[in-house]
Amino acid sequence: MAIERVGVVGAGQMGNGIAHVFALAGYEVLLTDISEDALTSATSLIARNLDRQVSRTLITDAEKTDAMARIATTTRLTDLGPTDLIIEAATERETVKTAIFEDLVPHLKPDTILTSNTSSISITRLASRTDRPEKFMGFHFMNPVPIMQLVELIRGIATDEPTFQACHAVVEKLGKTSATAEDFPAFIVNRILMPMINEAIYTLYEGVGSVKSIDTSLKLGANHPMGPLELADFIGLDTCLAIMNVLHDGLADTKYRPCPLLTKYVEAGWLGRKSKRGFYDYRGDTPVPTR
């Protein structure tokens, strides 16, 4: 399976990072989103991030120019039909992802590989809504994509070996490292990480510590680069809640019950950095704890 042209669905936080690393690795990238503004913002951000890599002598000016030339954008999902590999990086809602795949399928080449960057949703279930479950995989990048080394590769129950090997080869060409996960709720990273974040929110909810004391404790006491509440804001509290709900629903274990305070913040629209408020308020020069 020769993969040369890659389609990326969604130009948000994950999608633009995925387009960035694929273009830098030599792939032709077609990035799509329903919003023209989102596509414009994404290409501008990719250019700035590439400039940052140039300034750190990680890449050359020529490599940056070549990478930008490999990225095209479109608001028409069907334009992705001729690509060899598609990575869906839309919002973490199964109904949205399913609708995207159902719209794509009639326009694909017979050998196009479909993948999802989902951080928690069943790959087997998503694959079952397509015409090619054997050519469907989970392709889960970590955020921020250009910096983080890991990619989780998740096989659905029907994924065949050539599809897995093709995706594994792509990860190697990107210069990243893959970890193979079984198709169970939240896979490996988020199965471990999200309950820790959720427990930190319970610790805040129950008054055991403040936002500042909880984050300081984990940074200095466990040598974490970011505190769990700071990390939750970076990920997005809506994404954290969605993953906890998948864990709770999929595994039917009360230890995965989302903290009511997490739900409250999401209901308020305080989603973290992207909305300027979460466990910290980002509207000033310095983030300030909101509790």
Q: Catalytic site residues?
A: 119, 140, 152, 190
Q: What is the SS3 string spanning 90-138? A: CCCCHHHHHHHHHHHHHHCCCCCEEEECCCCCCHHHHHCCCCCHHHEEE
CA gap 275, 252 in Å, rounded: 31
- State yes or no: cis peptide before 162, omega within 30 of 0: no
Q: Do the beta carbons of residue 28 and residue 6 sit within 8 Å? A: yes
CA gap 221, 238 in Å, rounded: 27
